[in-house]
Amino acid sequence: MSKKVYLLLLSLLIILTGCTSPKADSGNQVELTISAAASMTDSLLELKERFEHQYPNIKINYNFGGSGTLRKQIEQGAPIDIFFSASEQDYKLLDEAGFIKKGQAILQNHLVLIQPKNGELTSINDLLDSNGKIALGMPDAVPAGTYGKQSLENLGMWGGVQERLVYTKDVRQVLTFVKERSVDAGIVYVSDTLGEDHIEVVERIDDSTHDPIKYYFGIIDGNKHDDAKKKATEYFYHFIFRDESMELFKKYGFDRVGD
């Protein structure tokens, strides 16, 4: 091989190396643990695929559940890097206690009454005339349950249905109980109903009967995080706010705050 050809190949190698895509980063793998409201399960699982494709050296581990339960885990020292809360109160409690490094409200949702396919209900008012069981997230731990209780109280229905309520650990369990016909109705978010063939929406519950349903996204302040994890957390944080990420959430029934 002539010296001229060798230098040409070397120059080409240098150029190709310098043009390597960020997603081809061969650095050590970093793992992020993200606690998120159960109602975001489907959307965040798809987001995980997109993010890890672009950043193959960053692995996302999810911890789904009721926002109140997740908040308590963080307060008790659970090693969480990012928190998606369906509850403004749970987010603010963490923020006031110094757990949130930075964050904000990013998405909003709506409540619906659902029943098994071919159920007998035609409106939420029918709950008072029926004897069926109603699934609802635990109001003190599950935001959908909190909002649902507010609506039933403001509609003057709480006293008439309270004895027939079946409380669940999160909003996804409400959906499961309805699909399995273990209950006659349930209160969930619009986003939980998309693509579900074994349930039907009876009625969208009036937004004015409960507090605004906003989802908060925050980085948990971890003083023990090394530089690699801090950088990975920032990558994910900014990834969430991209237009394509917001379009993904919209596909799953969420609205961007302010829309």
Span 22-81, pLDDT tens digits = 443 446 899 999 999 999 999 999 999 999 999 999 999 999 998 999 999 999 999 999
Give tens-digit pLDDT for 192-251: 998 888 999 999 999 999 999 999 999 998 756 678 899 999 999 999 999 999 999 999
The DSSP 8-state label assigned to residue 23 in this structure reads: G
Report yes or no on whether pTM surpasses 0.85: no
Alpha-carbon gap, residue 71 to 68, rounded angstroms: 5
pLDDT in the model for residue 93: 97
Residue with tokens 């969208």: 204
Roughly what angle, to the nearest 10 degrees, separates helices 243-251 and 41-54? 150
Q: How far does CA 173 lie from the centroid of its chain?
A: 15
| CA pair distance 93, 226, nearest whole angstrom | 26
Q: What is the tens place of the pLDDT at every residue in 121-142?
A: 999 999 999 999 999 999 998 9
- Complete domains list, the chain, with CATH: 30-108+213-256 (3.40.190.10), 111-209 (3.40.190.10)
Q: How much is the pLDDT for 222?
A: 74
What is the reported pLDDT for 28? Answer: 81
Beta-carbon-side half-sphere exposure of residue 111 (alpha carbons within 13 Å): 28
3-state helix, strand, coil in the chain (%, to 5): 45, 25, 30
CA distances from 150 to 94, 158, 211 (A): 23, 9, 8
The predicted structure's pLDDT at residue 26: 47
Q: Is the pLDDT of residue 5 over 80?
A: no
